[in-house]
Amino acid sequence: MEMALTRIGLAGLAVMGQNLALNIAEKGFPISVYNRTTSKVDETVERAKAEGNLPVYGFHDPASFVNSIQKPRVVIMLVKAGAPVDQTIATLAAHLEQGDCIIDGGNEWYENTERREKEMEERGLLYLGMGVSGGEEGARNGPSLMPGGSFEAYKYIEDILLKVAAQVPDSGPCVTYIGTGGSGNFVKMVHNGIEYGDMQLIAEAYDVLKSVGKLTNSELHQVFSEWNKGELLSFLIEITADIFGIKDEQGDGYLVDKVLDKTGMKGTGKWTVQQAAELSVAAPTIEASLDSRFLSGLKDERVEASKIFQGDYSTGLPVDKAQLIEDVRQALYASKICSYAQGMNIIKAKSAEKGWGLNLGELARIWKGGCIIRAIFLDRIKKAYDRNSDLANLLVDPEFAQEIMDRQAAWRRVVCLAINNGVSTPGMSASLAYFDSYRRDRLPASQSSTSALILHAVPSKFGKCY
């Protein structure tokens, strides 16, 4: 007997691909799967059987895989960005027909997506670049999805995406059609840049509480757990609280104290900072988070430097723990507002440049569930853009402006305390400098501009400067 045609296909069965395929099948959509390494196909099919006899059908060759999907065929790729995407497209396109659709679910550079969309259009194929956020858990149980490109292609699979995406009770599925071209990939890229900023600010809050306040891991667990019940409620605060409670199974003490202080990156954070510079959009918090990752990578150099610059950099003054905890909470929240404001401004500037017409409030809505930066805070951002879709900057929304003003005293105390105790807070400091620059009607740029004019125009004893 011949198998009935499946609703959709998925090529690329690493962790994300496997889990997204199982999610799609679990939502009632029979799915064909393919991977160049055939053992991954068999592994995925076995998982589908073990997790409830889900309708996942495996294929070891691309022709059989493509021909098993109902027309117009839709295939999602989840492979490493760059050349592997082009190679997978070539493999699939050889068997696809006019009107079929390819969707790239990886973290791809948006211009590559726009190039591929044009190439596929010439072959009569539709193309989408779809950001997928939420990691392994999100892919399996409900990610935040950011599809951009062909609207016709989006309509092919809208019914699937609406069910597969994370579901937030008060605002619906965490998916929307982002816009034309590479907008879906661009939005996902900036989402990741914002994520960099979020993680850096949380790390700094931890460092100040640990290094200056001398909080124990047990106390830190309690503090972050309490913070996760209020305005800072988020996935990242939740998992931060959790890590402080995990003991080291291999020895004494807590796991957090044994983790190497060296952070890597996948590139999207760097792309975000590069795009901010190209668009002339200030993004100092996100940039500080990237610089901090670069510095963390210099582990051996830092160890040697610590020997050269030995000494007690603390003030030795007593610290009121309760006051410090409250001040750090307020500083973290105020800094977070600045970080998101910067990310939204990057998206806004790119949307204007490319004519994408992106809806910033809708982006905040689909980030409320499934993705890494999901947080109650995002509902506030959505409402801010609902009140004024042309908001110049999130900081000037009346509600956020008041929150910043209410927290700035605590914010300044934390940054000053950290500086005086030799504790680096680049993200919080950059956020505060961003706020202080943005709120002033006159900046020293006039002096630097005048100096530049003088240097270029006035001859010196060494001759004219150029």
d(CA 38, CA 424): 49
- The answer to whether 116 is a known ligand-binding residue is no
Contacts of 427 (CB under 8 A, 6+ apart): 197, 200, 201, 204, 285, 288, 289, 292, 335, 339
- The answer to whether 212 is a known ligand-binding residue is no
Q: Which of 361, 360, 366 is nearest to 176 (CA)?
A: 366
Q: Which of 352, 355, 332 is nearest to 404 (CA)?
A: 332
- The answer to whether 16 is a known ligand-binding residue is yes
- The answer to whether 328 is a known ligand-binding residue is no
| CA-only gyration radius of the chain, Å | 25
d(CA 104, CA 120): 12
Q: What is the DSSP string of 202-243?
A: HHHHHHIIIIIS---HHHHHHHHHHHTTTTT-BHHHHHHHHH
- The answer to whether 344 is a known ligand-binding residue is no
d(CA 56, CA 66): 14
d(CA 160, CA 128): 15
- The answer to whether 36 is a known ligand-binding residue is yes
- The answer to whether 12 is a known ligand-binding residue is yes
Catalytic residues: 188, 195
d(CA 30, CA 194): 35
- The answer to whether 427 is a known ligand-binding residue is no
- The answer to whether 388 is a known ligand-binding residue is no
- The answer to whether 349 is a known ligand-binding residue is no
- The answer to whether 17 is a known ligand-binding residue is yes
47 and 199 Cβ atoms separated by less than 8 Å: no
- The answer to whether 79 is a known ligand-binding residue is yes
CB atoms within 10 A of CB 96: 23
- The answer to whether 358 is a known ligand-binding residue is no
**Binding site for NADP(+): what residues are annotated?**
12-17, 35-37, 79-81, 107
**Binding site: what residues are annotated?**
12-17, 35-37, 79-81, 107
